[in-house]
């Protein structure tokens, strides 16, 4: 579940009084002549965003599966040679 769905589940969509307040506030801030052009601009922005989102999802679904990465032969040979334990040191050579 994404963040937007979580937000709406926690607070819900705005009810009629909230929408009325938002509308009156927009009318006061922008005026009756500018409001329709702002609404058209907002609709265009949302439309472009929706198109970009759908294109992104389409590209993700069409991606081929990633190839399995093989380890280089040199690394395998090095790991095989390093797994043999080193010879134990003699106790007399450690006393000095």
pLDDT digits (tens, 9 = 90+) for 9-56: 667 777 888 989 988 998 899 888 898 998 899 999 999 999 999 999
What pLDDT is attached to residue 9? 62
Contact present, 38 and 30 (Cβ < 8 Å): yes
The model's pTM is 0.45
User: Is pLDDT at 90 greater than 60 in this prediction?
Assistant: no
The Cα 51–Cα 49 span in angstroms is 5
Per 3-state DSSP, the chain is made up of helix, strand and coil in percentages (nearest 5) of 70, 0, 30
What tens digit of pLDDT does each residue of 57-86 get? 998 888 777 778 877 777 666 666 666 556
Element (H, E) at 89: none
């Amino acid at each position: 579940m994404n963040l937007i769905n979580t937000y709406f589940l926690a607070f819900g969509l705005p009810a009629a009084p909230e929408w009325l307040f938002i509308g009156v506030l927009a009318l006061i801030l922008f005026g009756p002549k500018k409001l329709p052009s702002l609404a058209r601009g907002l609709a265009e922005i949302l439309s472009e965003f929706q198109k970009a989102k759908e294109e992104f999802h389409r590209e993700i679904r069409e991606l081929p599966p990633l190839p399995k990465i093989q380890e280089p032969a040199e690394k395998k040979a090095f790991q095989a040679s390093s797994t043999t334990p080193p010879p134990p040191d003699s106790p007399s050579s450690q006393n000095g």
